[in-house]
Structure 1
Amino acid sequence: MKNFALIGASGYIAPRHMKAIKETGNTLIAALDPYDGIGIMDSHFPQASFFTEFERFDRFVDKWRRDSGNKIDYVSICSPNYLHDSHIRFALRSGADAISEKPLVLNPWNVDQLKTIENETGKKINNILQLRLHPTIIALKEKVARELEQNPNRVYDIDLTYLTSRGKWYFVSWKGNEAKSGGIASNIGVHFFDMLCWIFGDVSENIVHSKTPDANAGFLKLKHANVRWFLSVNFDYIPDAVKNKGLTTYRSITVDNEEIEFSGGFTDLHTKSYEEILKGHGFGLEEAYGSINTVSTIRNLEAIGLKGDYHPFCKKII
């Protein structure tokens, strides 16, 4: 049984980490969050020590190790995106491996620096890239690999569309602050870009067609795919047929005009991620680098408008 600490315990994604820790037969020793309304812990680890101040959490982790002769084996990080880098460093310097939500960090040079700290401490950084464990996505990767064996020069046409509605609170919170979240592409798109590059190869061209506070759209040229992408948190952009069903999220990936159905199968992916990490098969800095570089580039590119091969949803943006 491994000992875990959790940073960012009150966030949206934290319960999936608590569930994964429990379902893999491990225990949560301590949790940290400035917000103290986290009754969800009662369903998972009511005996875990809880802190609202980082300094007291830091002291507990160090003192617990010295007094008990035990140690924190893993620190799970669900804090706001801009804090991941600092909290990963804390984990490694505390003698623990890190398990961080996406995006691992905001910029590729942060990855380079973390590699140095990995080498110094001998500890490992794991990034949650759960789409790589989704059965439908794995099947797609295997299918594409077989087809590329037959035709190594094949290039697929892909449309990625992800709309996940958010209210006014989103833009008041850290998520709406590009300096803290990395912007729309980093916050809700990074794992999709990772998945596409994992299957279709590295990015050779990166174009942004539209960039607003609630939507980003652009084009990626991969080794084996041309990708038109559209990401938004604006409910108005969701197709009427989806709205009429009472849904507030729309997720679509088409490959050569064929829809890839992967709306289900997400509930256990964090537990699967933890199982792989505990076996030493987690996704590390090398796997994270490509998608972090992609979203960092998107953040710094100027939008060129409706020119070239743009996603059809771009016309929805006013």
Structure 2
Amino acid sequence: MSNLRVAIIGCGSIAQNRHLLEYEENKYVDIVAVCDIVEERAMVTAEAFGAKSYTDYEELFSKEEVDAVSVCLPNYLHAPVSIAALEAGAHVLCEKPMATSREEADQMIETAERNGKKLMIAHNQRFVASHEKARKLIAAGELGKIYSFRTTFGHGGPEGWSADGENSWFFKKDQAFIGAMGDLGVHKADLLRHVLGEEFVDVAGFIENNAKSEITVDDNAVCILRSESGIVGTLTASWAYNAGEDNSTVIYGEKGMLRLEDDPSYSLIAQYTSGETVKYELGQIQSNDEGGQTNTGVIDHFVEAIVEDKKPLIDGEEGKRSLEVILAALESGETRKITQLAK
């Protein structure tokens, strides 16, 4: 079998630090084209990876035969460009959040099914070793009944690492649609659904812009979530953790608690009511602070799903369910009422 011909649409920070590097490392892939509205950025990237350069994704799809596409664009373009790529006959890996509405997400899912192509959403937290170990411990009943959780994802904001700094699209509502909740919160919504093995049914959201007055989206959000079995907990997302990144999760159960990415030395610590403590050294979670050079596992999983014709772990339906948690939080913040999620 010949290598997959891959195109990357959008050559900003996430493409440079994750997608391009991980595709380049994958033996089943050839990067054949890149596209960015900033011509110089596209040209420099193309030269670095031996690909062709485009500034118009429609032109790319008309001129290049590609097997797979990574969509690394501002949020408002996720759905239209993913749909165009799927219609062009390519499998699609789309950055999160999947879309800006349920309707867009449904259109993406329908287009993938109609064209017989894979659609995967790049929720990398599922591939973190501590998170996967926690999921297995909970599924095996090691913690007994799960009662509660707290999870957070925060750092100083995209201006520290995004390609356009303080002028980043992340801060513009017409392009981003949602701020810290879409950038970081949706990751944790997806993680909790995966680790707990349950869907959420009720969401209360407090969505604020109280740290960066010059932006038009949220920079601090706190949500209270309740699962179908009655697990309650908090999810926070912030672009105002200026002293350092926090990407931790703590899960409380009948027989003990799990601390994920909450300790500088151990990525997972299990503390049991029996008095036993188990510390796992599983490698640290990917961080923007590190320049992001560690492999996330996302690209390799996407490529494997195509090569072996398997359903991706985070397909369109999974991406949509995690998006719906964030949309519910937004709705709750606006209405000042608890939002119920459809079962």
Report the TM-score range of the alignment, normalised by the length of the smaller protein.
Answer: 0.7 to 0.9
- Equivalence for 1:188: 184
Find the aligned partners of 1:226 and 1:276 in 2 and give their Cα distance: 35
Alignment gaps of 5+ in structure 2:
210-217, 262-266, 268-282, 287-293, 339-343
1:113-152 counterparts in 2 under 5 A? 113-147=107-141, 151=144
Asked if 1:217 corresponds to 2:222, the answer is yes
Q: After superposition, what is the alpha-carbon deviation per residue over 1:32-54, rounded to whole angstroms, capped at 9, x for unaligned?
A: 001223545544x22x1101233
- Equivalence for 1:3: 5
Q: TM-score, normalised by structure 1?
A: 0.80
The one of 22, 25, 36 aligned to 1:23 = 25
- Equivalence for 1:274: 302
Change (3 A) 1:221 1:276: farther
- Equivalence for 1:54: 57
Deviation for aligned residue 1:300: 2.2
- Equivalence for 1:260: 260
- Equivalence for 2:67: 73
Find the aligned partners of 1:103 and 1:302 in 2 and give their Cα distance: 18
Deviation for aligned residue 1:172: 4.1
- Equivalence for 1:230: 236
The 3-state SS of whatever aligns with 2:13 is coil
Deviation for aligned residue 1:170: 6.1
Instruction: State the one-letter code of the partner of 1:182.
Output: F
Find the aligned partners of 2:175 and 2:147 in 1 and give their Cα distance: 34
Find the aligned partners of 1:156 and 1:133 in 2 and give their Cα distance: 24
Percent pairwise identity: 19
Find the aligned partners of 2:82 and 2:235 in 1 and give their Cα distance: 30
Instruction: State the one-letter code of the partner of 2:176.
Output: S
Alignment coverage as a number of residue pairs: 283
Find the aligned partners of 1:235 and 1:104 in 2 and give their Cα distance: 25
Find the aligned partners of 2:166 and 2:240 in 1 and give their Cα distance: 11
Deviation for aligned residue 1:55: 4.4
Find the aligned partners of 1:80 and 1:197 in 2 and give their Cα distance: 25
Preserved contact between residue 8 and residue 15 of structure 2 (Cα < 8 Å) = no
Of 50-59 and 212-221, more deviation after overlay is shown by 50-59
Deviation for aligned residue 1:272: 3.4
Q: Higher helix fraction: Structure 1 or Structure 2?
A: 1
Preserved contact between residue 133 and residue 273 of structure 1 (Cα < 8 Å) = no
- Equivalence for 1:300: 331
Preserved contact between residue 182 and residue 299 of structure 1 (Cα < 8 Å) = no
Find the aligned partners of 2:130 and 2:95 in 1 and give their Cα distance: 21
- Equivalence for 1:68: none
